[in-house]
Amino acid sequence: MKVLCIGDIMGEPGRRAVARAVPRLVAQRQIDAVIGNGENVAGGFGITPELAEELFELGLSVITTGNHAWDKKEVLDYFPRESRLLRPANYPPGVPGKGSVVIETAGGERLAVLQLMGRAYMPTIDCPFLTAK
């Protein structure tokens, strides 16, 4: 199984780079799934439902986020509706969205994605190691 992981996609330049590179890489390298961090696709701060849909249309299988996930308030209602948009699993209970998802890859295999956020130089949240366990 081949999985392409993309770090922080920043604003419009990052979205343009994804649009230019991801379809080509998926075809050339026969990639089964693409995971990208999209918490800063909206002008460098947050994500909107429209931009998440754009990234899915460009070939992302799963979008991860982090502490900027909720910078754009319109995404709050989108998190519970879109299981492929993840927030850190180690956020406390009651936070919108999920921290993990199981998808079917292009090759028909199942892939679990768990997203955790570290705590060094970040807001205090649940321990990522205990959450993963």
Strand partners, 111: 103
For tokens 């807001």, the residue is: 123
Q: What is the pLDDT of residue 8?
A: 95
Q: What pLDDT was estimated at residue 122?
A: 84
The predicted structure's pLDDT at residue 48: 97
CA angle (69 as vertex; 108, 97 as ends), nearest 5: 55
Residues 19-25: contacts with CB under 8 Å, at least 24 apart: 19/58, 22/58, 22/59, 22/60, 23/58, 23/59
| C-beta of residue 69 within 8 angstroms of C-beta of residue 96 | no
Residues of the chain whose pLDDT is less than 50? none
Residues tagged active-site: 68
pTM: 0.95
Q: What is the predicted pLDDT for the residue at 124? A: 84
